[in-house]
Amino acid sequence: MIIITPKSPEYNTSIQEWNRAINKFPYLIAYCENTSDVSEIIHYARKHHLPIRIRSGGHNYEGYSTGNDCVVIDISKMNNTKIDYVNNTVKLDGGTKNTELYNYISNEGYPFSGGTCPTVGVSGYALGGGWGYSARKFGLGCDSLVEVELVNYKGCVLTANKDKNSDLFWALQGAGGGNFGVITSMTFSLPPKVDKVTYVRMYYPGINKNIQVKVLDTWQKWISSVDNDINLSGGLYNTKKKVFTLILEVLVIKTLRILKSFLSLFII
């Protein structure tokens, strides 16, 4: 375990969250390398009456994974992933990031109902529900969770699944992170392999507000009538840099026919 304190040269970089507006000053940051480290640091924090924060990818918008005068349990160094081909599941350490999981399972042809940002932590993502481009097809991230290993507030290691600690397991599927203990590993069921995925990014700069509204309206009417192989997200901008810009990102899992029907809607 690596401990960073305000006296360490790495302190200023270690306290940095994804949201640069968060300025919090923990008492220490503990980079754990295994479950025993997590238990040990929980015992330490309890003994010294220090509040605990848990950090995986550090992408919480409000900075819930850090705080002032607290112990940050950072598990980003715990990032092993392993496919179980017999049970069709993938087990990953609690600090695994989206990109680490995608790189590993996509090499084997598996998709995953993960989020869009590569550096988000999978545990933070799935504990909050987890929406991604393939969510219409495969469900939310938490829907494919089959088991978690967690270190609780006493430093004890628990397993939760539908049969064991099932109430805890239920609560971990979308209730948000950091409330019930430190997740040290998660096991997800894997969807069937896919061999074709198409990603399209559409960028419409300089359009007016009426066209933005028309596109959103057309999209909302259309999406409920097509099958779940397609999903999309959109961003509307009206800033100095991007004056009335619309950005649409589309993922199609197999049938390109749907993509054609989608594109034909937007030939304005």
Residues engaged in binding ligand FAD (CB under 6 A): 18, 53-61, 64-65, 75, 94, 115-117, 120-121, 123-125, 127-128, 130-132, 177-178, 182-183
Q: For the CB of residue 167, give the shortest distance to ligand FAD in the complex, in Å.
A: 17
Q: For the CB of residue 256, give the shortest distance to ligand FAD in the complex, in Å.
A: 23
Spatial distance between the Cα atoms of 22 and 30, rounded to a whole number of angstroms: 19
Q: For the CB of residue 150, give the shortest distance to ligand FAD in the complex, in Å.
A: 7
Nearer to ligand FAD, 26 or 177 (CB): 177
Nearer to ligand FAD, 207 or 232 (CB): 232
In degrees and rounded to multiples of 5, residue 230 shows phi and psi of -120, 145
Nearer to ligand FAD, 104 or 180 (CB): 180
Nearer to ligand FAD, 105 or 127 (CB): 127
Q: For the CB of residue 16, give the shortest distance to ligand FAD in the complex, in Å.
A: 11
Q: What is the 3-state secondary structure (H, E, C) of the chain?
A: CEEECCCCCCHHHHCCCCCCCCCCCCCEEEECCCHHHHHHHHHHHHHCCCCEEEECCCCCCCCCCCCCCCEEEECCCCCCEEEECCCCEEEEECCCEHHHHHHHHHCCCCCCCCCCCCCCEHHHHHHCCCCCCCHHHHCCHHHHEEEEEEECCCCCEEEEECCCCHHHHHHHCCCCCCCCCEEEEEEEECCCCCCCCEEEEEEECCCCHHHHHHHHHHHHHHHCCCCCCEEEEEEEECCCCCCCEEEEEEEECCCHHHHHHHHHHCCC
Strand 52-55 with 71-74, pairing: parallel
Spatial distance between the Cα atoms of 197 and 256, rounded to a whole number of angstroms: 9
Q: For the CB of residue 14, give the shortest distance to ligand FAD in the complex, in Å.
A: 13
Nearer to ligand FAD, 155 or 178 (CB): 178
Closest chain position to ligand FAD (CB): 124
Q: For the CB of residue 86, give the shortest distance to ligand FAD in the complex, in Å.
A: 26
Nearer to ligand FAD, 79 or 212 (CB): 79
Q: For the CB of residue 268, give the shortest distance to ligand FAD in the complex, in Å.
A: 27
Nearer to ligand FAD, 185 or 212 (CB): 185
